[in-house]
Amino acid sequence: MINACKTASARRITAVIPNFPYARQDKKDKSRAPITAKLMANMLQTAGCNHVITMDLHASQIQGFFNVPVDNLYAEPSTLRWIKDHLKVEDCVIVSPDAGGAKRATSIADGLDLGFALIHKERARPNEVSRMVLVGDVKDRIAIIVDDMADTCGTLCKAADVVIQHGAKSAVAIVTHGILSGNAIEALNKSKLERLIVTNTVPHEAKKEACARIETIDISPTLAEACRRTHNGESVSFLFKHAPMD
């Protein structure tokens, strides 16, 4: 599509990619592993892309793979609004299910003036968590587990078990990209998670029908406003801290 637009003399081409593909392959975690996120960046640029708009990159360093501007939007403003509208904020605590997501979780905790807890996890092999240790206090609180991606949901389900074991009233998970692959729905239905809130960066209507715990935050206004601002040459950085009204 990008190349078709390029050869049809488009002045400027902006690729809007809500969920950047292969974002987790951003470095060599072992020898001879591919860095496919870099390949995706090269493909987009070779096809003729002048600008990329994406949301909640797994690692923000991926922006450095591009030689064109990348606007990495955040679902955080929409997430903060959802928490304020649907939960009793003063009873909550923000929990990061791994050390890598600590920055994201502390940012949300600061935005709501809440406490923060961290789960240290050890993986036996990819997508399989062996042991989890909680650092912080969740007793008699609603534990809000925040992450950028729910793939097989193994981490989220184990994190919910851990916070409930440590005395949390309930566990709610909020993630940006609800990929929900493999047995994710089955795992969610058996888990101690009360709700899983995902944005619609990935279509999940069929999965929502199979699991009543899934709720959706619509981030189309944020992406639409980013497109409008880009087209008119206005500042996009306003959207990093503010969610446009629906």
pLDDT value, residue 100? 86
Q: Rounded to whole angstroms, how far apart are CA atoms 179 and 183?
A: 11
The model's pTM is 0.91
Residue 219 sits at the vertex; the CA angle it makes with 217 and 225, to the nearest 5 degrees, is 155
Q: Rounded to whole angstroms, how far apart are CA atoms 117 and 106?
A: 9
Same domain? 52 vs 120: no
Same domain? 95 vs 14: no
pLDDT value, residue 99? 87
Same domain? 52 vs 94: no
Q: Rounded to whole angstroms, how far apart are CA atoms 222 and 77?
A: 10
pLDDT value, residue 216? 96
Same domain? 136 vs 199: yes
What does the block give as tokens for 78? Answer: 């929409």
Among residues 141, 146, 77, 145, which one has the least CA distance to residue 111?
Answer: 77
pLDDT value, residue 144? 97
Q: Element (H or E) spanning 189, and its range?
A: helix 184-190
Same domain? 234 vs 165: no
pLDDT averaged per 10 residues in sequence order, the chain, 246 residues:
97 97 93 96 97 95 96 96 95 93 93 94 71 90 96 92 95 96 94 96 94 95 96 93 84
Tokens 């929409």 correspond to 78
Same domain? 104 vs 33: no
Same domain? 159 vs 198: yes
Same domain? 125 vs 13: no
Residue 246 lies in a domain: no
Q: Rounded to whole angstroms, how far apart are CA atoms 102 and 174?
A: 14
Q: Which residues of 145-171 are buried (b: 16+ CB within 10 A; e: fewer)?
A: bbbbbbbbbbbbbbbbebbbeeebebb
pLDDT value, residue 239? 94
Same domain? 99 vs 126: yes
Residue 67's domain comprises 2-74+221-240
Structural contact between residues 42 and 35, judged by C-beta atoms closer than 8 angstroms: no
Same domain? 42 vs 103: no
Residue 135 lies in a domain: yes
pLDDT value, residue 129? 66
- What's the CATH code of the domain at 70? 3.40.50.2020
Same domain? 8 vs 22: yes
Structural contact between residues 133 and 82, judged by C-beta atoms closer than 8 angstroms: no
Residue 151 lies in a domain: yes
- With a CB cutoff of 8 Å and minimum separation 6, the contacts of 148 are 56, 58, 101, 104, 175, 176, 177
What total of structural domains would you count in the chain?
2
Same domain? 45 vs 87: no
